[in-house]
Structure 1
Amino acid sequence: MAATPLHRHAKVVRMVVSTYQAASGAGTAVMEEPMQQTHEFALNLFSHNAAVFSNGYNEEEMKLVKETRKFWNDMDVKVTATCIRVPVMHAHAENVNLQIEKPLYEDTARRILEGAAGVVVVDDRESNHFPTPLDVSNKNDVAVGRIRQDLSQDGNLGLDIFVC
C-alpha cells in the first residue's frame, strides 16, 4: 500500500524488500505457547517458516514478488524479497528500497504518501519516532516512515521507506 502510490507517480523499476513478520503469522502454536518458546523466539530472528524452493527463495518471498507484479500489472518490475520472523506478537514491518524511473524527492514522496488512502505517515526525525508494529497493532492503516533518498543511487532515482 505504501509503495503503490509512489509507483504510480514515478514508476518503480526495482524493489528490494526485507520483511520482519510477527510471530502471529507463524500460527497459533507460537501464540499459544509464548512462555515455552521464549528462549527460542523472543531472543532470536529466523527465516520465514515457508517452504524453500530450489532457487533459494521461500514461498512467502516468491508470493511477494508475484503479487507485486500482478497488483501493479507490471511483469517487468524487478522485485526481490527476504522474509524474516521476528519476536513481536502482531503486525509485520518492511524495509522497502525503491529504484525508480524518474527522479522523486523525499518531500514529494512524503506528500504522495500523506494523501494516499489507507496510509498514515509517521516520520518524525527530530524525536526519532517512526512506525512500530506495536503502534499499528489492531489498526487497518499502513504506517510509513523513514522516508529518505537512497544515497547509493544517483539522480534521486532511489528511495527508502519503512512500513508497518
Structure 2
Amino acid sequence: MKQFTLLICSWILALGLTGCGGGGGDTPPSASTPAENNANGDDDPVTMASIKVAPNYDFTTSQQLKVNVDLRSLTDQRAYVGFYQQWSGDDNSPIPNPDTQLLLFVTDDGQLNQTLTLGKQQQSLMMLVMFTDTSIPPIAKVFALSDGKELQYP
C-alpha cells in the first residue's frame, strides 16, 4: 500500500510539473513579411545589387608592412627580433603579450628586412629585440602605424 501511495504521488507530481508550461496566449506571434513592410510605406529592402560603392573603395581587410631593422651599430652577434600586436604597460616600458607575436626573427648580421601582413585595424606594433650579448640591454619600442607602409629602426 505504501508503494502504491508513493506511485500515485509521483504520478500526480509529474503531471503537475509537465502541466506548468510557459505562459503566453493561444496565438503565436506573427512576423511581418517584406510585403507587409512595403505596404506600411517602408523603403524597398536592400539587396546586394542596390548597394552603391565608390569605384576606388578598397575592400581588403589586411595591409602589408615593410620592416627594416638595422642593429649593426649595436652588435655583430646574434639578436632576436620579435613583433607583437598587444602589450601591457606604457609605451616607454612595454611588456609584450606572447600570444600576439607576429614574427620572431633571428639575425646574425644585425639586419632584418621582412614584410608583415597585418589587419587594417592595427593601430600600433611593438618591437622587442633581445641580444645574446647580455651586456646590451633589450630594446622595446612601440611604433604607431599611420598610413605609412614601412617601419624603420633606428
Larger Rg: 2
Say yes or no: TM over 0.5: no
When the two structures are superposed, what TM-score results if normalisation uses the length of structure 1?
A: 0.23
Larger relative strand fraction: 2
When the two structures are superposed, what TM-score results if normalisation uses the length of structure 2?
A: 0.24
